[in-house]
């Protein structure tokens, strides 16, 4: 069964953001289902839909994200997809 | 993907910038089967039942909050009103049981356990009286036990004998905890028309109509509503109501989703969603500031009640559509010490005790977290409770009193309660006596409103 989550990445554009973030996802056995990315006034914003059905340790993933956040000065969020469905769809 | 980026950003902004959170998930547990003629066994059964039923409450809630990225601030427990299982226990034993509850709460790392309660709105049973007698000591020797007493309902009227006792109990509790700003009183609430499934403290208990165990949720979110209104500074009041409605809908949906997930993982039924806007001392997370954003220079001035009525009603309309089971208190809370805007209103002399009392006519719940001068008489405290109860009784709504007579402090001082309980300016009370009325005792008969069959 799929358990989908939305990963959002926001920060100043620089080399290697997608590489580092997707590496973390691969290391934590998370499959990427959809990616969209854009640059808004120098700001890199990326949104990914991922399948977290195989994830064994959410804390580990969050720690990995934290490292990337600090290294590249980004803000990374991950939230289960249904929360957006619940809040923004009747 | 059907969700737009702006919508995702909106959710993230609500959590990170506007203090959107789930205020509490509260697990209600029935303790009726813990009654026993041997008091040692009662204690043992109560402790074991609570700690086994709620064993996973905190870890499960923490896991869910991580997965959904929305914080669940408090994990709490509500239990059967303890007076119902006291039987022929003594006062000392009842205090001992409060200690047991405190230990259970500490073992489970929940911040409050509510239900050290008695329902005496019509009469006082033996167990009820034991609990009333035990209250001052129980509240002073425990940290996390919350108590409540129901002293009136629309259907029964107001039990003024019990009200009179509560005045003394409050004063005594304040004396017992005077080293800590009389904080014992902050864990006690007197109710008229209490609800059986309220997830918020200090008034939570697991009512007689409830099942074995049930999970109920209370959301928060004044900050989110405030920020939504700030984006539309010049719209008319109909649109203000609409903005609040839409925002309340989103907040409630998030709360219901997380609540249901926690309930599912704990394998207990989901009870209700309480649609109360509960403020905190966090920056901008204030109900008073919403009222000011609607157009008041300072909360407490003329127009406050109209603005509050509009806001409270809009929150309910938005929330009622968002959740399949709405219950609890479901209205705006106006606790003074937990709301920076209310504190400022009092400090600026815009907001008075009388105005706060009037505000409770149009919102839940009542005089909440209000510090009054330490030299207040028990009769005056009782009369304050009676006034609030009368508002609730006649208007068929829940009202409550959680006032703290702070021993050694007088009008104009400020007291710190710490943590979620915040800080409060000490307010003066009416200097004229109500003693004669309280001394009369008896019961205020049920009003005409009760005759609805």
Q: Spell out the domain ranges in chain B.
A: 20-58+65-192
Indicate the average pLDDT of chain A: 89
Q: Shortest CA distance to B318 belongs to which of B369, B378, B244?
A: B244
Chain A contacts of B67, Cβ < 8 Å?
A: 5, 58, 79-80
Does the beta-carbon distance from A83 to B257 stay under 8 Å? yes
Nearest chain A CA: its distance from B68 CA (Å): 4
pLDDT of residue B77: 97
Beta carbons of B2 and A80 less than 8 Å apart: no
Nearest chain A Cα distance for residue B221, angstroms: 14
The answer to whether B73 and B278 are in contact (CB under 8 A) is no
Q: Which residues of B touch A (CB under 8 A)?
A: 1-5, 7-12, 63, 66-70, 250, 253-254, 256-258
Ordered DSSP codes for chain A: ---EEEEEEEEE--TTHHHHHHHHHHHTT-EEEEEEEEEETTEEEEEEEEE-TT-S-HHHHHHHHHHHHHHHTEEEEEEETHHHHHHH--
Q: Which residues of B touch A84 (CB under 8 A)?
A: 3, 7-8, 11
Per this entry, what is the length of chain B?
A: 453
Backbone angles phi, psi at B388, to 5 degrees: -65, -45
Contact, B421 vs B434, CB < 8 A? no
Between β-strands A4-12 and A43-51, what pairing exists: parallel, antiparallel or unpaired? antiparallel
Query: In chain A, what are the domains?
Result: 4-88 (3.30.70.260)
Amino acid B384: pLDDT: 97
The whole-model pTM stands at 0.91
Three-state SS letters, chain B: CCCCHHHHHHHHHHHHCCCCCEEEEEEEECCHHHCCCCHHHHHHHHHHHHHHHCCCHHHHHHHHHHHHCCCEEEEEEEECCCHHHHCCCCHHHHHHHHHHHHHHHHHHCCCEEEEEEEECCCCCCHHHHHHHHHHHHHHHHCCCEEEEEEEEECCCEEEHHHHHHHHHHHHHHHHHCHHHCCHHHHHEEEEECCCCCCCCCCCCCCCCCCCCEEEEEEECCHHHHHHHHHCCCCCCHHHHHHHHHHHHHHHHHHHHHHHHHHHHHHCCCEEEEECCCCCCCCCCCCHHHHHHHHCCCCCCCCCHHHHHHHHHHHHHHHHHHHCCCEECCCCCCCCCCCCHHHHHHHHCCCCCHHHHHHHCCCCCCEEEEEEEECCCCHHHHHHHHHHHHHHHHHHCCCEEEEEEEECCCCCCCEEECCHHHCEEECECCCCCCCHHHHHHCCEECCCHHHCCC
The answer to whether residue A80 scores a pLDDT higher than 80 is: yes
Q: Do A83 and B256 touch (CB under 8 A)?
A: no
Residue A43 pLDDT greater than 90, yes or no: no
Asked if A40 reaches chain B (Cβ–Cβ under 8 Å), the answer is no
Q: How far apart are CA B59 and CA B53, in angstroms?
A: 13
Q: Are B224 and B319 in contact (CB under 8 A)?
A: no
Q: Which residues of B touch A82 (CB under 8 A)?
A: 257
Bridge pairing between strands B443-444 and B157-159: antiparallel
ipTM: 0.84
Which pLDDT does position B284 carry in this prediction? 84
Q: Which residues of A touch B247 (CB under 8 A)?
A: none
Q: What tokens were used for A86?
A: 């619940």
Give Cβ neighbours of residue B434 (< 8 Å, ≥ 6 apart).
B379, B380, B382, B383
CA distance B122 to B118: 11
Query: A57 and chain B: CB distance < 8 Å anywhere?
Result: no
Q: Which residue in A59, A78, A84 is closest to B3 by CB distance?
A: A84
Instruction: Split chain B (453 residues) into runs of 10 and give each run's mean pLDDT.
Output: 79 84 94 94 96 96 92 95 94 96 96 96 96 97 97 97 97 96 95 94 93 93 92 96 94 92 95 89 89 96 96 93 89 89 94 95 88 96 97 95 95 88 93 96 95 89
Minimal-distance CA residue of chain B relative to A86: B253
Tell me the chain B residues in contact with residue A80 when contact means C-beta distances shorter than 8 Å.
67-69
Instruction: Tell me the per-residue pLDDT of B27-51, one tens digit each, with 9 for 90 and over.
Output: 999 999 999 999 999 999 999 999 9
CB contact (8 A) between residue A79 and residue B256: no
The CATH label, of 3.40.50.720, 3.40.980.10, 3.20.70.20, 3.40.50.300, for the domain at B20-58+65-192 is: 3.20.70.20
Q: Chain A residues with CB inside 8 Å of B253's CB?
A: 86-87
For the ranges A26-35, A54-63, B58-67, the lowest mean pLDDT is seen at A54-63
Q: What average pLDDT score do residues A67-74 get?
A: 92
Q: How far apart are CA B220 and CA B130, in angstroms?
A: 36
Q: How confident is the model at residue A1 (pLDDT cuts 50, 70, 90)?
A: low
Interatomic CA distance for residues B345 and B337, integer angstroms: 11
Q: Does A35 touch chain B (CB under 8 A)?
A: no
Confidence of residue A2 (pLDDT cuts 50, 70, 90): low
Q: What is the nearest CA distance from B327 to chain A, expressed in angstroms? A: 20
Identify which of B20, B117, B114, B27 has the alpha carbon closest to the alpha carbon of residue B73.
B20
Give the per-residue pLDDT at B303: 96
Give the count of Cβ contacts less than 8 A between chain A and B: 63
Planar angle of CA B72, B76, B81, nearest 5 degrees: 155
Distance from CA of B249 to the nearest CA of A (A): 7
């Amino acid at each position: 069964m799929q358990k989908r989550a939305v990963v959002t990445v926001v920060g100043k554009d620089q080399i290697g953001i997608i590489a580092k973030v997707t590496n973390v996802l691969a290391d934590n056995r998370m499959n990427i289902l959809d990616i969209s990315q854009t640059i808004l006034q120098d700001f890199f914003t990326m949104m990914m839909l991922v399948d977290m059905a195989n994830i064994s340790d959410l804390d580990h993933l969050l720690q990995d994200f934290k490292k990337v956040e600090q290294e590249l000065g980004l803000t990374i969020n991950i939230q289960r997809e249904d929360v957006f469905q619940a809040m923004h769809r009747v | 993907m059907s969700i737009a980026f702006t919508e995702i950003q909106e959710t993230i902004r609500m959590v990170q910038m506007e203090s959107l959170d789930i205020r509490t998930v509260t697990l209600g547990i029935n303790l009726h089967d813990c009654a026993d003629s041997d008091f040692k066994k009662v204690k043992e059964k109560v402790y074991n039942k609570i700690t086994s039923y709620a064993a996973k409450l905190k870890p499960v809630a923490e896991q869910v909050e991580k997965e959904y990225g929305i914080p669940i601030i408090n994990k709490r427990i509500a239990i059967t009103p303890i007076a119902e299982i006291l039987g022929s226990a003594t006062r000392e034993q009842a205090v001992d049981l409060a200690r047991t509850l405190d230990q259970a709460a500490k073992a489970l790392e929940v911040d409050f356990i509510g239900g050290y309660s008695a329902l005496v709105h019509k009469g006082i049973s033996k167990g009820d009286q034991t609990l009333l007698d035990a209250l001052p000591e129980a509240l002073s020797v425990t940290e996390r036990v919350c108590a409540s007493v129901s002293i009136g309902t629309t259907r029964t009227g107001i039990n003024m004998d019990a009200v009179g006792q509560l005045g003394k109990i409050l004063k005594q509790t304040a004396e017992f905890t005077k080293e800590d700003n009389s904080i014992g009183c902050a864990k006690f609430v007197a109710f008229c028309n209490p609800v059986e499934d309220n997830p918020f403290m200090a008034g939570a208990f697991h009512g007689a109509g409830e099942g074995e165990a049930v999970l109920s949720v209370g959301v928060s979110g004044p900050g989110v509503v405030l920020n939504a209104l700030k984006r539309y500074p010049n719209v008319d009041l109909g649109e203000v109501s609409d903005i609040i409605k839409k925002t309340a809908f989103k907040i409630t949906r998030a709360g219901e989703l997380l609540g249901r997930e926690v309930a599912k993982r704990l394998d207990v039924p989901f009870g209700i969603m309480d649609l109360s806007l509960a403020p905190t001392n966090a920056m901008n997370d204030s109900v008073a500031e919403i009222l000011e954003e609607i157009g008041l220079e300072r909360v407490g001035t003329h127009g406050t009640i109209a603005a509050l009525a509009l806001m409270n009603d809009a929150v309910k309309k938005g929330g009622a559509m968002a959740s399949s089971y709405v219950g609890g208190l479901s209205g705006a809370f106006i606790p003074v010490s937990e709301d920076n805007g209310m504190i400022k209103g009092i400090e600026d002399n815009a907001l008075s005790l009388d105005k706060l009392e009037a505000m409770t006519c149009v919102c839940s719940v009542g005089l909440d977290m209000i510090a009054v001068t330490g030299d207040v008489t028990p009769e005056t405290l009782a009369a304050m409770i009676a006034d609030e109860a009368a508002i609730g009784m006649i208007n068929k709504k829940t009202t409550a009193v959680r006032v703290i007579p702070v021993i050694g402090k007088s009008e104009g001082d400020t007291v710190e309660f710490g943590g979620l309980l915040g800080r409060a300016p000490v307010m003066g009370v009416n200097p004229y006596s109500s003693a004669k009325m309280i001394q009369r005792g008896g019961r205020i008969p049920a009003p005409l409103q009760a005759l609805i069959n």
